[in-house]
Amino acid sequence: MPAYVCFISSGVLPTATTLKPCSFSTYNNSHHVLKRANSNAHPRTITCSSSVSGHQYGLVLPPAVPQNGQKGDVKPTPIIIRPDELHRSSFPKDFIFGAGTSAIQIEGDGTEGGRGPSTGDFIIDAANGGKGVDSYNKFKEDVRLLKEMGIPYYRFSIAWPRLLPDGTLDKINPDGVNYYNNLLDELERNGITPFVTLFHFDLPEALQKRYNGFMDRRIIQDFSNYCDLCFRLFGNRIKHWMTINEAAAFVILSLTAEQKEDPINQFIVGHHILLAHAAVVKNYREKYQATQGGELGMAIISKWFEPRSLMSPDDQEAADISFDFLVGWFMHPLKYGEYPHHMKKWVRGLPEFSEEEKKSLKDSSDFFGINYYTGAFAQAVRSGQMELTKGVTDLRYLIVEGAERDGVLIGPAANGSDQIYIYPEGLLKLILHVKEYYGNIKMYVTENGCSSYSKITMSIPEAKAAGKLSEIEKELNDAQRLEYIQLHLQSLLLAMNEGANVQGYIVWSLLDNSEFGNYDIRFGLGFVDYHDDYKRYVKKSGKWYAGFLAPRREGSGMRPILMDKATAAIPQS
């Protein structure tokens, strides 16, 4: 789920939809990248710009660094990859490809099957009858769609209140246990591997009422108990786990209006989430990892920040601050056991970890899940008004973030969106930064996708009968989403060519679903007809992804990846 995080008291630059998008024409280790990633790699070129303006895309990979056993003077031929040549075989054989969903967005209303109410029920507009896409009753159709597209991995989440309606072990819901066992059975029958998130925004309402959820340390034990139950019930069939999805986003969503009045509360919630993660990992490693053979990480909401002025050290620092307050907030403690520099510098009253807690957090993630959608510019505010409010720096007096620099957008806007701008170079820079500063830890891109906006008011059969298929056809022929996926896969190849330890890519999302109660915003490879019993249809992007993943046949007529030049346009079929 792409969550558009705006930290409490942070300022955001207004976006201008009339601005021209950037063309990502060259990337030559800019001042910003050199300072942040300390890269000594070859200059690299990304020839790409928006197809909205009719340009073509291509990707030039620089010569690879000689591997162990190769002579230092080996000079591999540069590889040139164009979008219509991207294929599963472009990546290592053990590289993971998948598509993702979350329970709160797809399963159904808040009571079906014995599920307890969740603080996240507003996400599907449950109060007004919203049912996500009714996957509680249609999970076999979801698996059929995965099978049809040849997608080998399925990222989904387990709903805490579906297993434990009151959030504690006092009451285990057998219908919830059966539901997830049946889903796992169906995936296994179809040769699809699960990649599972334990907590994706759906906090049992009972725990929120009992002690304000993650505002209280007592919830750490409840969360650990819930995760232990999942490991006991399903761990023999799940090898890839993530404790929490986009904690920085959940922090904001979890606070009441009154709690948001004091900005320090967001850091208290985040602190307890980190300690909860550490407790779960410790338990899993001690009791289950050796026998079940799984790995455990966290999905971190990510964005790449560019300085608004390339010549301004203040804007450079603003970009670094923005990164630390979004990505580093959770990534840094999971690797090093402490908060990043800028958080410790600018947040007065930031909770502190004990020495024992630091040890439990350090290296407590077997991998980082990277949820990346877009980039932004960061600008320092030079008003001199660096004041403190209730003990916490008001970020409005430090930085403002926005999508525009000197009248130019950082990238083409996703259709109907003022939140997602297509900036694949940001994924490249983000991954290289993690490689440099976080020990080249294993990474999976666990969310990456492009939104579209469609105001569809009737079913496909009704639209056909009325001769009003244009809006539906526009959504089914989602060329921009297809292009977005291609560009980000190209960025992954470039990052991996630089030695980044990226081992998987999961598209968001398998299906259209509810985005914070809005069913007009769509991310799916699969179209959902909300006016005809939630029927599923494969979009153009899904068909491309299926072709990308399909085994390449000998004599198929497809050219090899190694070519002389990049000249291809986005495929139209």
* Cα radius of gyration (the chain): 23
Backbone angles phi, psi at 367, to 5 degrees: -160, 165
Strands 96-100 and 502-508 turn out to be parallel
Which residues in 316-325 are b (16+ Cβ under 10 Å) and which e? bbbbbbbbbb
> How many Å apart are CA 167 and CA 204, to the nearest integer?
5
- Kindly state the tokens that stand for 497: 């060519």
Tokens 């996400």 belong to residue: 123
| 8 Å CB contact between 501 and 443 | yes
Q: Is 148 a catalytic residue?
A: no
> How many Å apart are CA 210 and CA 213, to the nearest integer?
7
Q: Which of 85, 107, 205, 246 is catalytic?
A: 246
Q: DSSP assignment of 256-322, as one string?
A: -HHHHTSTHHHHHHHHHHHHHHHHHHHHHHHHTHHHH--EEEEEEEEEEEEESSTT-HHHHHHHHHH
Helix (H, G, I), strand (E, B) or coil at 326: helix
The CA–CA distances, whole Å, from 78 to 36, 70, 75, 208, 541 equal 26, 16, 9, 55, 29
> How many Å apart are CA 166 and CA 554, to the nearest integer?
56
The CA–CA distances, whole Å, from 233 to 155, 183, 227 equal 18, 13, 10
Q: Is 387 a catalytic residue?
A: no
| 8 Å CB contact between 494 and 46 | yes
Q: What angle do CA 192, 440, 48 make, to 5 degrees?
A: 75
Closest by CA position to 153, among listed 230, 240, 89: 240
Strands 153-157 and 96-100 turn out to be parallel
Q: Which of 357, 404, 425, 447 is catalytic?
A: 447
The CA–CA distances, whole Å, from 510 to 109, 237, 490 equal 19, 21, 20
| End-to-end CA separation in angstroms for the chain | 28
Which residues are catalytically annotated?
Answer: 246, 447
